[in-house]
Structure 1
Amino acid sequence: MEREEKVLDIVLESLISRCDEIKKSLISFLYRLENEHQKLDWPAFLDNFALISGQINNLLKILKSEKTPPLRNRIFLPLLLSPDRDEDLAKLTEGRVVAFNHEMVPDYLRTKLEPEIESIEAKQIVKASTMNQEVGQKQITSINKIANTIIELVRTTKDEWESGSTQRSSIPVTSSIQDTNIILAAIYLGKGLKPSTITPKTEPRPGSIGPQIPGQSGPRPPGISKAPSAIKTNIKSASQVNPYGR
């Protein structure tokens, strides 16, 4: 009897340590989901799920081990119920349970599911038992076909991506970084461009008609006569203009 009790204590310590590992992994994953969701990608999600799944499988292996005594033959019951706050219990449960009273015992020491979940599970069991074997086999075949199609699609996409990356690496380089830098320097800084030449003014050739200045006499093109002036001038002497002239 003592040997069985020692084995039970060892198994319980191992189960508690495995549960602590699962709890830490869940807390870490939830923290990353809440605070680092922008940096997480799909491989990171899969890694976290794989870690938690592996830890749960290790816990189940301990429960299914032949060395583990059958826990179903053990009865777990409270020795004392108190409505007062229990500091040791609050520390042990990290503040989730502060008092082991009549309200908490049915939830934490129950051996069956909640009535709502239990009724849903019973309906699913009845539905599965009444299903025809041929119909069930067809559904299994359909699900396997969908899964195989998805696997094949993923494998094909992976092969195409790997072959495309290989082809991209074998393509010869057709550009030059040095030439690109020269073009950019010419566009933004004018480096390497020749200065623009200024065309000198050409003198009018002899016999050419240049711009006529008012009052200046010069040759007129043939066939063009002098236009009569429309302004009449009246020139008077200074004595006639100034009445005080002597």
Structure 2
Amino acid sequence: MQQREEKQLEAAVESLISRVAHVKNALHSFIYKLENEYERLTWPSVLDNFALLSGQLNTINKLLKNEKTPSFRNQVIIPLLLSPDRDEDLAKLTELRVPVFSHEIVPDYLRTKPDPEVEEQEKQLSVEAARIGPEVAQKQIQTLNKLCSNLLEKLNNPRDDRDSETAAIRQSKPSFNPADTNALVGAVAFGKGLSKCRPPGPVAPGHPGQGPMMSGGPTLQQVTIGGGSVQQAGMGGPVAPQQQGQPGKIPSSIKTNIKSASGSMHPYNR
């Protein structure tokens, strides 16, 4: 009788180790994809990996709940030897995860209950769940279901519908004025609509013709008399011809008129 139970236990342990190895391989493959192939990884592929892991875990649970599987709760593991030295056989069995079986490692690897901190958090959650009445819990459940339903509807809508809605919104609400855009392009590229007037500014000394023209004030005009150019004052005065032997020299009478005209055109002599 005892030998048969030991054989059943050994067979169950071997089957459990085999199932756990499948889960480990699936996790290793999934982690490798997340770390190295995340650029090509698609959401359906991620869901397939999760489904594979979920199916393997369900298989392990069914194996543990099977009637032919002995209850592992009745089996107690007692460490017979603890040593701070490295154990090569243990490291080989655990794929170098547990190279030493010491007093520091045993409480973590042979623990049958959660950590005290985790147990305390579970107790607090249980107490808070007990304080909530049935009506409040039902309202929270309905609110959560409504949020989940709305989210599922948005996710299930075809992408084309969302794109068409976005395009319709953009067409109904233009973000620019075509007339202003065309006017700006014409002004920058061709100078269309720009004023030809010079900006106002003070007149430099000795250059009476480069300042702003005052409305109603005297003006100057360059005329050609006898092959040379002279400045004609716009104040109604006569223009004297050039003197022979002195090309380009302005007579003194015109200089006087120019000085008086430039003084009247200065923006500070209004």
**Share of identical aligned residues, percent?**
55
Q: 2:157 and 2:40 mapped to 1: Cα distance?
A: 28
Q: Is residue 69 of structure 2 the alignment partner of residue 64 of structure 1? A: no
User: Which stretches in structure 2 are left out of the alignment for 5+ residues?
Assistant: 163-270
1:111 and 2:119 correspond: no
* Letter in structure 1 aligned against 2:71: P
Q: For residue 148 of structure 1, what is the aligned residue in structure 2?
A: 149
Q: CA deviation at 1:31?
A: 1.0
Superposed CA offset, 1:53-91 (max 9, x none): 111111111112222222112111112112211111001
What does residue range 21-40 of structure 1 map to in structure 2 within 5 Å? 21-40=22-41
What stretches of structure 1 of length at least 5 have no aligned partner?
162-246
Alignment partner, residue 82 of structure 2: 81
Q: Which amino acid aligns with 2:82?
A: L
Give the number of aligned pairs. 161
Structure 1 match to 2:168: none
- Cα deviation for residue 158 of structure 1 reads 7.6
Question: CA distance change for structure 1 residues 59 and 158 in 2, over 3 Å: closer, same or farther?
Answer: farther
User: Which residue pairs with 1:127 in the alignment?
Assistant: 128
3-state SS in 2 of match to 1:124: helix
The within-5 A match list for 1:150-229 is 150-157=151-158
How far apart in 2 are the matches of 1:135 and 1:14? 46
Q: Name the aligned partner's letter for residue 119 of structure 2.
A: E
- Can you list the C-alpha shifts for 1:177-221, whole angstroms capped at 9, x where unaligned? xxxxxxxxxxxxxxxxxxxxxxxxxxxxxxxxxxxxxxxxxxxxx
Equivalents in 2 of 1:47, 1:87: separation in Å?
38
> 2:125 aligns to what SS in structure 1?
helix
The aligned counterpart of 1:216 is: none
Give the equivalent residue in structure 2 for 1:224.
Answer: none
TM-aligned CA deviation for residue 159 of structure 1: 9.9
1:41 aligns with 42
Deviations 1:114-168 (A, max 9, x none): 122222111111111222111111222222222233333444438969xxxxxxx
Name the CA shift for 1:77/1:159 in 2 (closer, same or farther; >3 Å).
Answer: farther
Root-mean-square deviation (CA), in Å? 1.9
> 1:94: which partner in 2?
95
Opposite residue 105 of structure 2, the aligned amino acid is M
Structure 1 pair 100–117 and aligned structure 2 pair: CA distance change class (3 A): same
**Distance in 2, Cα, partners of 1:102 & 1:52:** 33
Q: Specify the alignment match of 1:178 in structure 2.
A: none
Per the alignment, residue 210 of structure 2 pairs with: none
Structure 1 residue 2: Cα displacement: 1.9
Question: Where does residue 139 of structure 1 map in the other structure?
Answer: 140
Q: How many Å separate the matches in 1 of 2:72 and 2:129? A: 29
Q: In the alignment, residue 145 of structure 2 is paired with which amino acid?
A: N
- Alignment TM-score, normalising by the size of structure 2: 0.56
User: In proportion to residue count, which structure has more strand?
Assistant: 2
Q: Aligned equivalents of 2:15 and 2:94: distance in 1?
A: 18
- Superposed displacement of residue 43, structure 1: 1.0
Q: State the 1:49 CA deviation.
A: 1.0
CA–CA distance in structure 1, aligned partners of residues 121 and 60 of structure 2: 27
Q: What is the TM-score normalised by the length of structure 1?
A: 0.61
1:189 corresponds to: none
Please give the alpha-carbon distance, in whole angstroms, between the structure 2 residues aligned to 1:150 and 1:68.
43
Alignment partner, residue 220 of structure 2: none
